[in-house]
Structure 1
Amino acid sequence: MQCAFLLTLPMERFMTSLQDIINPILLNNDVVVKQQHLGVLRVTGVDAKKFLQGQITCDINKLTPDSGLYGAICSIKGRIITNFYLVQYNEDILMLMAKDLVEKTTLHLKKYAVFFKTELIDTQDKMTVYASFSAQNEAQPSNHPERFDTTQSKNGVTLTLCQKPLVMQWHIVESESANLTEQNAHLSALSILDARPLIYLEQSETILPQWLNMQSTGGISFTKGCYTGQEIVARMQYKGKSKKQLALVTWDGLLDTTKDITDAQGKSVGQVFAVAAIQSTHFAQIILNIEPNETETLSLDNHVVTLLPLPYSLETKK
């Protein structure tokens, strides 16, 4: 899997490319960092896939020992309760999500799990997740932003989230076997440029999947059939008028990220969703209420911010 640049806007709209940012930082600096914010929910039993298929936005039939998934669980109103990455580990399914959403997700799913031969187990104390980042290899394969390669091992599984513009992997290992050593952890801020965010508890049930571009990254299947919230999600895709979408921006210095993103006329056009920094350089995922080409500039806290290209096309994946 690799991530191709989206250049739907004129090149002059972008001050720099993701490659220009990432390559100099990671050229001689591999990164390994423990993902303290992630939790792991294990789904077991002969009905595990059948059960999940009726609850998640992605198509569980595409989950294999060699390929993971990105998806969400929605409320009946189509809002994301939690979103996650799925990997198959032995005979079980591991759901990787924000740690503070594991309990809420478990309670939500248990309402439906009683009708299936399946069990939900909070595994975050038994599984440890590390992230690794390195500069891309020019010989990477063609773009499949909705596919996430996985590699099985005796004590865990490795999930490749992205190979371009950087190689980013999660290593999910049995805690008793965890022996990875953290290095250059401060550079993990680059992970925000993958633009496939996981929400936290405070954001739960406030966001539609399309606002995070999940229709473009394999996070939503429009052919798999019914799941909770499916009618709202499909209606938003084919009949909705919302322009809300995830975008990437960068700036130098400290700004008030609680303030709105504004256009050239000072009108509110979005909010900061997540932010990370390497020294004084900040990177942010923002949710815009407009198409990026509808304004000449974007500003935060009365300072112009630089729009960055996304690492994938915004075409809808089926």
Structure 2
Amino acid sequence: MAHDAPRMTTSPTGLPLAAALNGVAPLLHLGVIRAQGEEAAKFLHGQLTNDFSLLGLSEARLAGFCSAKGRLLASFIGFKLAHDDILLVCSADLLPATLKRLSMFLLRAKAKLSDASAGFQLWGLAGDAVPAALPAAPWSKLDADGGQMVRLYPGAGVDRAMWVAPVDAPAPGGERLADAQWRWLEVMSGVATLSQPVVEAFVPQMLNLESVGGVNFKKGCYPGQEVVARSQFRGTLKRRAYVVQGDAAMTTGQEIFHVNDPSQPCGTVVEAAPHPEAGWSAIVSMQTSAAGGGRLHLAAADGPGLSLLPLPYPLLADI
């Protein structure tokens, strides 16, 4: 399938869309797990897909938490407040189950885990609200305004960052972005946040996690590690994440169909948001063969049509 150019590049004011999407948005759909103790980093290193033992204070990590079958139970943005104090930001609807499951593996580790969501505020910063002092590389981190600021992948060409601070810190200044606007920028970044409707639906590569810095193949074992490594190094990956757009509303967990095989779905909506002007955009995980040509449809073989957009980053296998 030919990659269609993104539509609707201007805002209702006539400004380029990227220029209109500047500001801050509270990230109320996210929560925070806190890991504290002298073995907190070592414990997380043995549970998640990324390296937390060597995590520095000026960087963050994207990481997944998998079942023994290599299926994602949660995805995180993690960083250290101190060498023995780590925050994991994840979808709030997954936090209780994730915290309970992680706690099962603590055993005698010198670490404790807690739901710290009530103690922190999380904000998304877009466009000119992202300070120039924050390094441009995704997952870089900066102490800023009494909190921690993490550089995210851009969405639709718009710079993005996440700011995490104690709940009593002053909120960041700037124009308010609507939640839907922030969610759309996240979708357009191509980096999905796993949520409840799609728990255990994907191995990390089905969300391109290894291509956006979320999997370290050189670290030691973690739950599902053998499955994740085998998916990467033995044979071709048959499912990947893509960005699509369409006129109809989309929701997480909806199925995607391809015109050449109308009897069964070829993919799943992972995250979706309305376009700031019209239509919807979504990250979908689907068969790579379905991205090669032919029409895509939402929810049914004769459902609303979808257009495939270019991925905003290269896939690891293509680098």
Give the TM-score of the pair, scaled to structure 1: 0.85
Structure 2 partner of 1:282? 280
RMSD: 3.1
Alignment partner, residue 54 of structure 1: 46
Are 2:88 and 1:95 equivalent residues in the alignment? yes
Name the CA distance, whole Å, in 2 between partners of 1:156 and 1:258. 34
| Equivalences, count | 304
Match of 1:39 in 2: 31
Moved more, 117-126 or 107-116: 107-116
Segments of 5+ residues of structure 2 without an aligned counterpart are: none
Residue number among 185, 196, 211 corresponding to 1:216 in the alignment? 211
In structure 1, distance between residues paired with 2:208 and 2:250: 25
Is 2:4 the counterpart of 1:15? yes
Structure 1 unmatched runs, 5+: 1-8
Q: What TM-score does the superposition give when structure 2 sets the normalisation length?
A: 0.85
The aligned residue for residue 315 of structure 1 is 316
Q: Which runs of 4+ in 1 moved over 4 A?
A: 17-23, 139-144, 253-259
Match of 2:112 in 1: 119
C-alpha contact 1:72 1:81 (8 A) present in aligned 2: yes
1:45-84 map, 5 Å: 45-84=37-76
Structure 1 residue 193, shift from structure 2 partner? 0.9
C-alpha distance 21-262 of structure 1, shift in aligned 2 (>3 A) = farther
Task: Tell me the CA shift for residue 31 of structure 1.
Answer: 2.5
Alignment identity in percent? 26
Match of 1:25 among 14, 17, 22: 17
Deviates more, 1:77-86 or 1:106-115: 106-115
C-alpha separation in 1, matches of 2:38 and 2:7: 43
Task: Measure the CA separation in 1 of the matches of 2:21 and 2:261.
Answer: 40
Q: Could you tell me how far apart the structure 2 residues matched to 1:18 and 1:51 are?
A: 45
| CA shift digits 1:30-85 (9 cap, x unpaired) | 13111111000111111111111110101114421111010111111111111100
1:137-216 paired onto structure 2 within 5 Å: 147-153=138-144, 155-163=146-154, 165-180=157-172, 183-185=176-178, 186-188=180-182, 189-216=184-211
Cα contact 1:75–1:81 (8 A) shared by 2: yes
How far apart are 1:265 and its partner, in Å? 2.9
- 1:143 and 1:66 map into 2 onto residues whose CA distance is 13
Residues in 2 aligned to 1:213 and 1:241: alpha-carbon distance in whole angstroms:
14
Instruction: Give, in angstroms, the shift of residue 143 of structure 1.
Output: 8.8
Deviates more, 1:197-206 or 1:221-230: 197-206
Q: What secondary structure sits across from 1:184 in the alignment?
A: coil
Matches within 5 A, 1:255-294: 260-265=255-260, 267=262, 268-277=265-274, 278-294=276-292
Q: Secondary structure at the match of 1:60?
A: coil
Distance apart, 1:290 and its partner CA: 2.7
- 1:229 aligned residue: 224
**Whose RCO is larger (CA < 8 A, sep 6+)?**
1
Measured in 2, the distance between the counterparts of 1:213 and 1:68 equals 18
CA distance in structure 2 between the partners assigned to 1:176 and 1:183 by the alignment? 19
